Structure 1
Amino acid sequence: MSALFTIILPVFLIVGFGYLVSWRGWFRPEGVDGLMSFAQNFAVPTLLFASMARLDLGTEFRVHLLIPFYAGAFCSFLAGWAGARFIFHRPPMDCVVIGFVCLFSNTLLLGVPITERAYGPDALAGNWAIIAMHSPLLYTFGITVMEFTRARGSDLSVGRVALRALSGVLRTSLVIGILLGLATNLLMQAGLVLPTGFWDGVDMIGRAALPAALFGLGGVLYRYRPEGDMATIAMCCACSLILHPAITFGMGHLFELDVAGMRSAVLTSAMAPGINAYLFANIYGAAKRVAASTVLVATALSTLSIWMWLAILP
Structure 2
Amino acid sequence: MTILFDVILPVFIIIGFGYVVAWRKMFSEIAVDGLMRFAQNFAVPVLLFANISRLDLAGNFNAGMWIAFYTGAFLSYFIGWFVSGRYLGRNPEDAVAIGFVCLFSNSLLLGIPIMERAYGAEAIAGNLAIIAIHSPLLYTFGITMMEFTRARGQSLSVGRIALRALSGVLHTPLIIGILCGVAMNLLLQAGLVMPEGFWAATDMMARAALPAALFGLGGVLYRYRPEGDATAIALCCLCSLVIHPVITYGLGHLFALPQGAMRSAVITASMSPGINAYLFASIYDAGKRVAASSVLVGTALSILTIWFWLAILP
State the one-letter code of the partner of 2:73: A
Q: Take 1:166 and 1:261, find their aligned partners in 2: how far apart are those partners?
A: 29
Q: Take 2:36 and 2:114, find their aligned partners in 1: how far apart are those partners?
A: 20
> 1:240: Cα distance to partner?
0.1
- Number of the residue aligned with 1:51: 51
Residue 13 of structure 2 is aligned to residue 7 of structure 1: no
- Number of the residue aligned with 2:86: 86
Percent identical pairs in the alignment equals 69
- Number of the residue aligned with 2:72: 72
- SS of the aligned residue for 1:106 comes to coil
> 1:192: Cα distance to partner?
1.0
Q: TM-score, normalised by structure 1?
A: 0.99
What are the ranges of 5 or more consecutive residues in structure 1 without an aligned counterpart? none
Alignment of 1:236-255 (within 5 A): 236-255=236-255
Contact 2:11 2:113 in 1 (8 A): yes
Q: Take 1:150 and 1:188, find their aligned partners in 2: how far apart are those partners?
A: 44
- Number of the residue aligned with 1:161: 161
Q: TM-score, normalised by structure 2?
A: 0.99
- Number of the residue aligned with 1:289: 289
> 1:57: Cα distance to partner?
1.1
**What do the CA deviations read for 1:80-121 (whole angstroms, capped 9, x no partner)?**
101111110100000100000000000000000001101111
Q: Take 1:250 and 1:300, find their aligned partners in 2: how far apart are those partners?
A: 25
Residue 290 of structure 2 is aligned to residue 268 of structure 1: no
* Aligned-residue CA RMSD (Å): 0.6
- SS of the aligned residue for 1:109 comes to coil
Contact 2:81 2:98 in 1 (8 A): yes
State the one-letter code of the partner of 1:156: L
Alignment of 1:116-127 (within 5 A): 116-127=116-127
- Number of the residue aligned with 1:203: 203
Q: Take 1:224 and 1:204, find their aligned partners in 2: how far apart are those partners?
A: 32
Contact 2:62 2:261 in 1 (8 A): no
What are the ranges of 5 or more consecutive residues in structure 2 without an aligned counterpart? none
> 1:42: Cα distance to partner?
0.1
Q: Take 1:188 and 1:140, find their aligned partners in 2: how far apart are those partners?
A: 29
**What do the CA deviations read for 1:26-75 (whole angstroms, capped 9, x no partner)?**
00000000000000000000000111101111111210111100000001
**What do the CA deviations read for 1:109-168 (whole angstroms, capped 9, x no partner)?**
000000110111111110000000100000011011111111111111111111000000
- Number of the residue aligned with 1:307: 307
Q: Take 1:32 and 1:225, find their aligned partners in 2: how far apart are those partners?
A: 16
Which aligned runs of 4 or more in structure 1 are off by greater than 2 angstroms?
A: none
State the one-letter code of the partner of 1:34: G
Q: Take 1:254 and 1:53, find their aligned partners in 2: how far apart are those partners?
A: 31
> 1:260: Cα distance to partner?
0.8
